[in-house]
Chain A
């Protein structure tokens, strides 16, 4: 399965198959299932205890052979109370077990899915899909649990209740049972049809909720622009439309739901009337007693509840199954970049040598971004990779850090094919600083410690000092312990990148990959940082994906990528000698804007 289909719903799989797949992936769900079912069965028997007691009480006690006998009624009541106590206890145990088992199993699924998503490259390749992936470990799983507990218990109890009720009914009178079932047939048919309409109506509600959220998000994220251009009227008109359309959809869904629900109500009335008429006729013929007929009237009311509940929960069930399917689809997806694990090798100690052998790469279904790249980067070298946007330089970085695997050829680090390197060894020795310098909601110290949880505050202060950032960090309101805010938003873009760089620095990698990591820092800060980085990169291999040619100028060697191929390489000074070359043109454009 490719990443392209990860978030697309596969609606075609039958629900039962999804449930089977789900159970196969969560064997915990079956823990003690037999016991739970047994408890459920006993607790269901409680539902028919009262009608049976009514029948026994009337036929054996009130209208018994020797006339009214309160003692017999007392006996019947006593026995039934005992039964009820038992079934109530069983009901409690059943719900408890069900909750414990389902919550435990789904917590497992949640954690596993989360962990699995981190292994999938879709996460960092398709940013727009992240929201959908978050729903896989939140809303979708909530839907499954909610269904298992609300719908599942209800469905289990009510369908069991239906079966038990029918059995008791059959014991009393097969004719009346038939009459009852016939009375419900039209309702079942109508309800089934309503279910489809209901699913459609709720689908519209969800979709319009999405539209509304998008409109609200737009008005919030674009608040500055909306104000600056004085176009609040236009935006509020759009919001009002979204609000009203959602309300209309909600009303429509409710109307459909109530209509379906009412059908069950009508069926119950019909069944009650029919049972009375046919029951009396049967009684006249001596086929049924007063107690049995009375019990039947009680049983019919037991019959209607499951039908009505089923109307409501089946819709929920469909949503839950769809959610489950989406979760399973994510879990079923093989990570495109797999850890060789125990079978793999560790990188040899010391600085890393990089070798690309006829490496090519194309995004699935997309154009080729790199083709036939052959190159070696000797240990200790600081290399800058330059090229225009879309030339393939970012792909180069991703292949180097094994965020992706090449389509053709291979990448070797210190002679070891990258695909053979254990992740533990790879991530310890190769560190990349991504473009956006993402920070977690915590303090500056916590973010740096993300790379090395064992570092103390003094170590961190030392690291900031070594990078010439001691002044900057002490200038923060709470120094190292300044909260950076959600996504680091309490810091400026440039400051975030500073923290990201220190984080990479303390990781102490042998191969450092910088992906335009300093693009949002002002030139003076960048140069200052660059100079410090120059010092710390000594002794390790560094590959910088350069946005500004200042990076290239300070590198030992420049690799020029154009249209997926390496077109030039060599020291900056050498490359600028040919002004007509790709690098020559890039350089003159750079000069134009900096001088």
Chain B
């Protein structure tokens, strides 16, 4: 079956090339025309040189008298051909290159557009590294064969023309060509197809080597503190050895191919010399024609390789194309309605109505969740690790949609609201702060309408971030670096909180968004928010101080709402809740008891 599979790949690869040509016909044409011209010039050049030897060199040397007119004309023709060839090279390479770059750019735009359009649920299923290579190396790979494609097309035309010109010269010499060209062509194709799987394997092993290095270096602290450097080194070395063997096998194939590729045209030239001498003796050809054909064979081998380059890149191209298409054809886009929320100002009402949720292909993580956040109220979402709090937060701002049940904002199903209305109404601050590689100001405003300097400043103040921003070298205009690396964790959290506040949201959803902020600062922030009263707040919280500021607590366990009420009510009614929020006190009390016991009964 392998040969059939590889034939399929070849066919699919050619289909991809067809798609590419249909997308960029003009640039392809420029490249192909340049390439055909290049090929014809190669043939022309060989015949000019042959004629030159036959008609100028031989008589001049025999007669000991240079025919100046002819000689200078020949030199001029050679120079002219050379200049035309430069022109053809520009056409061929720029046409091909521009075609390739434009295709890459077009697909990169398309892929990244899809990234922005596809819902968070899709993003969660795909690793960042994969998405990066989809947009970068996969797009690149898909269009690798484009660079030599016009050259290959031109070469095919050239081969046909060469055979034609050979037959016009002498049928015996033409037979040498008829034998040689197909074998060059076949050798290239066979080589490329045998090389492709080796290259692919080497590429896969490279990726694995790289993945191990990434992982091992990321986990360096664990590796080191467990003294496992040697074992990690061995894990890496094993993969490196496989890569080495794969690359050596690539080298062996190349070692066999390259010298034979060089030798074949030389053998052809020698055959021409021998047969040509015979045909010369029988008077069928001239010395000039012999030289022409010999020269042609010498310069022809190189362009034929272009065909091999295209064939060699096809499997990689198909693989890249498939991965790119997987992104472009991915479905599950969130559709938005065009409704506006009932109220335009004042705090919003949030309601979860029998909401359940499961990540695609995974177990259900939320079951029948119902609760409300009344306008202007602060609700704390409390529960043990992994109980589904973050998922509830994501549902509240419609990053994901429920499997069943409804999330309502001001009474309207969140799915009916327009995207702009949603973004204006609800602001979300995630667990891990995300900062754009831009200035503080741009991070706060995000070019949102109605969010200007005044709003940014007020939000910074509310988020207790004004002091540190003022101390930055350029204040609001300080660039924060990729992912905000120049800021501390707590600063990043306060900045993202300020970003949410700057848009004056009517509902604020905080997913444990202040974990790196000093507790006192956190209390001040939350107190400030409640004072404003323009916002309803849903806050995922661990800290008692945070919970204490809430009007109501929703306690979740294993994806279910176990109890709803005030902190006090839940303490009285819900043992799980009590166990969670009083864990420290009880542990302390227990320790004191043990301590007392220890003192009474010395060990």
| Cβ of A217 to closest chain B Cβ, rounded Å | 6
Contact status of A98 and B427, CB under 8 A, knowing A77-B274, A277-B75, A432-B221: no
The answer for the CA separation of A522 and B384 in the assembled complex, in Å, is 6
Which of B120, B281, B586 is the one whose CB lies under 8 Å from A527?
B586
Interface residues as binary, A36-77 with B (CB distance below 8 Å gives 1, 0 otherwise): 000000010011011001100110011000001010011011
Question: Separation in Å of the B24 CB from the closest CB of chain A?
Answer: 13
Assess the B112–A219 pair: CB atoms within 8 A: yes
Tell me which residues across on chain B come within 8 A of A235, comparing CB atoms.
116
Within 8 A of A (CB), among B42-62: 49, 52-53, 56-58, 60-61
Map CB proximity to B onto A257-286 as digits: 1 under 8 Å, 0 otherwise: 110011001101110111011011101101
B213 to chain A, nearest CB (A): 5
Q: Write out the residue numbers on chain A whose beta carbons fall within 8 Å of the beta carbon of B490.
A: 389
- A106: chain B residues at CB < 8 Å are 244
Closest-CB distance, B308 to chain A (whole angstroms):
15
A526 to B384, CA, bound (A): 10
Are A104 and B244 CB-contacts (below 8 A) given A118-B216, A280-B71? yes
Segment of A12-20, A207-215, A348-356 engaged in the interface with chain B: A207-215
* A74-B250 in contact given A96-B255, A427-B225, A592-B523 (Cβ < 8 Å): no
Among candidates A50, A96, A134, A513, residue contacting B269 with C-beta atoms closer than 8 Å: A50
Q: Which of A162-170, A287-295, A561-569 contacts B (4 or more CB under 8 A)?
A: A287-295
Q: Are B217 and A117 in contact (CB under 8 A)?
A: yes
A84 to B273: give the CA distance in the assembly, Å.
15
A503 to B434, alpha carbons, bound, how many Å? 31
Q: Are B85 and A592 in contact (CB under 8 A)?
A: no
B280 interface residue (CB < 8 Å to A): yes
Complex: A236 Cα to B448 Cα, angstroms: 15
CB distance from B295 to the nearest CB of A (A): 7
Residue from the list B108, B216, B225 in contact with A403, Cβ < 8 A: B225
- Using an 8 Å CB-CB cutoff, how does the interface string of B276-320 with A read, 1 for contact, 0 for none? 011011000001001100110011001000000000000000000
Interface residues on B, range: 35 or more
Taking a contact as CB atoms under 8 Å apart, the answer to whether A114 and B266 are in contact is no
Interface residue SS majority, chain B: helix
Q: Bound complex: CA of A578 vs CA of B459, how far in Å?
A: 38
Is B436 at the interface (CB under 8 A from chain A)?
yes
Q: Does B186 count as interface, using CB distance less than 8 angstroms? A: no
User: A283 contacts B57, CB within 8 Å?
Assistant: yes
Place the interface of chain A in its size category. 35 or more
Quick one: CB contact mask for B431-466 with A, threshold 8 Å, 1 for yes? 000101100000000111000000000000000000
Shortest beta-carbon distance from A529 to chain B in Å: 11
Given contacts A270-B79, A427-B225, A450-B226, A123 and B217 within 8 Å (CB-CB): yes
For B75, give its contact among A230, A276, A423, A450 (CB under 8 Å): A276
Q: Which of chain B's residues 247-277 have a Cβ closer than 8 Å to chain A?
A: 247-248, 250-252, 254-256, 258-260, 262-263, 266-267, 269-271, 273-274, 277
Q: Once the chains bind, are B248 and A100 in contact (CB under 8 Å)?
A: yes
Q: Is the CB–CB distance between A231 and B446 below 8 Å?
A: yes
With a cutoff of 8 Å between Cβ atoms, the chain B residues found around residue A450 in the complex are 222, 226, 228
- Is the Cβ of A62 less than 8 Å from the Cβ of B259? no
Q: Mark A80-93, 1 if CB is under 8 A from B, else 0.
A: 11001101111111
> Which residue in chain A gives the minimum CB-CB distance to B577?
A524
Contact residues of A: prevailing secondary structure: helix
**Cβ contact within 8 Å between A81 and B270:** yes
- Assess the A265–B86 pair: CB atoms within 8 A: yes
Q: A107-B244, A434-B225 are in contact. Are A262 and B585 (CB under 8 A)?
A: no
Is A532 part of the contact surface with B, judged by Cβ < 8 Å? Answer: no
Contact with A along B83-107 (1 / 0, CB 8 A): 1011001100110011001101100
B131: chain A residues at CB < 8 Å are 216, 220
Q: How does the 8 Å CB contact mask read for B216-235 relative to A, with 1 for contact and 0 for none?
A: 11111111111111111100
When C-beta atoms are compared, the residue in chain A nearest to B297 turns out to be A50
Segment from B11-19, B150-158, B167-175, B540-548 that makes contact with A: B540-548
Chain B minimum-CB-distance residue to A57 = B273
Q: In the complex, what residue of chain A is closest to B545 when comparing beta carbons?
A: A593
With both chains docked as a complex, state the minimum distance between the C-beta of A155 and any C-beta of chain B, in angstroms. 14
Quick one: which of B109-161 are within 8 Å of A by CB?
109, 112-113, 115-117, 119-120, 123, 127-128, 131-132, 135-136
Q: Is the CB of B278 within 8 A of A70?
A: yes
List residues 236-253 of chain B with CB under 8 A from any CB of chain A: 236-237, 240-241, 243-244, 247-248, 250-252
Which residue of chain B has its CB nearest to the CB of A592?
Answer: B545
The 9 closest A-B pairs by CB, nearest first: A269-B82, A427-B227, A99-B251, A230-B423, A91-B259, A95-B255, A494-B385, A593-B545, A283-B61
Told that A54-B273, A236-B113 touch, could you supply 14 new A-B pairs with CB distance under 8 A?
A: A61-B277, A92-B259, A99-B247, A107-B244, A137-B236, A232-B117, A247-B102, A283-B61, A301-B295, A430-B225, A520-B385, A523-B583, A590-B519, A595-B544
